[in-house]
């Protein structure tokens, strides 16, 4: 009996990793005014940002339904494998609760559900660790125990290029967004324990690399022999300077780049940058 890892689309795991490790991705939904699309299935990142740029009204997102999870879990169980589900923070979406309901509906002892307490690149980091543990042939309970201990060690930050989408989504007043734009403010958010916290606000993207170096030094992060995730939206060149700095100054094992999908892009807008790694 093998172990199949089930994820949702907000982790933005690369298609290459999904195929290589036989992951099962269950998509959330993105809703424009008159149309709805399954994230990463019916709407690519490129198409989403094109539609976003032409849309007056901010799209909304919908969680995965219990039925969609039940179908995915049942398919895996019928193939004789166990299910290890790792999903975005329950504080940010009802997707984890949908997975839990699906597990209860099926009533199988071969399903384990985890709340990553993160989203996007943070969840991706935990999923990479899960893949490693599955390949070490650990049993599913051992894997869950190790991953639970690892959740607090995920480091994930995001630098927003614009405050417009926080304002459009009701998380910021229009006045604050206008002032922020005039001052060229770039908020840096930390994703931890299912919540988003503003770490700092810098003026201009040209200060990001210097800020990242100081942040790593201040927190005594050791990136030697680690996998670091770099995320971007629309503009891949935007992370070039961050990547070059990491490669020149830190003994990093591997860097994975990925463009954020439609669900994450709805809330961050274009131009967002992200960094994540496991501090263990």
pTM over 0.95: no
What angle (nearest 5°) sits at the alpha carbon of residue 220, between those of residues 216 and 221?
A: 60
Q: How far apart are CA 47 and CA 203, in angstroms?
A: 30
Strands 254-259 vs 227-232: parallel, antiparallel or unpaired: parallel
8 A C-beta contact, residue 186 and residue 159: yes
Beta bridge partners of 200: 188
Per-residue pLDDT of the chain (280 residues; tens, 9 = 90+): 899 999 999 999 999 999 999 999 999 999 998 899 999 999 999 999 999 988 888 899 999 999 999 999 999 999 999 999 999 999 989 999 999 999 999 999 999 999 999 999 999 999 999 999 999 999 999 999 999 999 999 999 999 887 666 555 554 445 444 344 444 678 888 888 888 887 888 887 788 999 999 999 999 999 999 999 999 998 788 799 999 999 999 999 999 999 999 999 988 888 899 999 999 8
* pLDDT of res. 196: 80
Residues 6+ apart with CB under 8 A from 78: none
The predicted structure's pLDDT at residue 277 = 97
Question: What pLDDT is recorded for position 113?
Answer: 97
Phi-psi sector, 259: left (phi>0), alpha (psi -120 to 50), beta: beta
Q: What per-residue confidence (pLDDT) applies to 163?
A: 62
């Amino acid at each position: 009996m093998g172990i199949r890892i089930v994820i949702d689309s907000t982790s933005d795991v690369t298609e290459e990793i999904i195929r290589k490790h036989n992951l099962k991705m269950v998509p959330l939904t993105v809703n424009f005014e008159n149309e709805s699309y399954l994230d990463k299935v019916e709407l690519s990142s490129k198409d989403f940002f094109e539609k976003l740029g032409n849309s007056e009204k901010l799209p909304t997102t919908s969680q995965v339904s219990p039925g969609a999870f039940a179908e995915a879990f049942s398919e895996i169980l019928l193939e004789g494998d166990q299910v290890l589900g790792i999903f975005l923070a329950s504080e940010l979406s009802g997707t984890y609760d949908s997975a839990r309901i699906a597990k209860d509906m099926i009533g199988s002892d071969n399903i384990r559900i985890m709340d990553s307490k993160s989203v996007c690149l943070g969840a991706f980091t935990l999923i990479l660790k899960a893949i490693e543990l599955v390949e070490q042939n650990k049993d599913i309970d051992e894997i869950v125990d190790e991953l639970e201990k690892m959740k607090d060690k995920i480091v994930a930050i995001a630098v927003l290029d614009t405050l417009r989408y926080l304002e459009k989504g009701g998380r910021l007043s229009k006045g604050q967004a206008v002032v922020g734009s005039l001052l060229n403010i770039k908020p840096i958010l930390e994703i931890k324990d299912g919540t988003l916290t503003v770490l700092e606000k810098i003026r201009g993207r040209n200060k990001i690399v210097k800020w990242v170096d100081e942040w790593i030094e201040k927190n005594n992060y050791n990136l030697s022999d680690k996998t670091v995730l770099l995320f971007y939206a629309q503009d891949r060149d935007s992370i070039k300077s961050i990547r070059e700095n990491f490669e020149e100054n830190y003994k990093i094992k591997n860097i994975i780049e990925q463009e954020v999908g439609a669900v994450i892009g709805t809330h961050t807008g274009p131009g967002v940058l992200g960094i994540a790694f496991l501090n263990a």
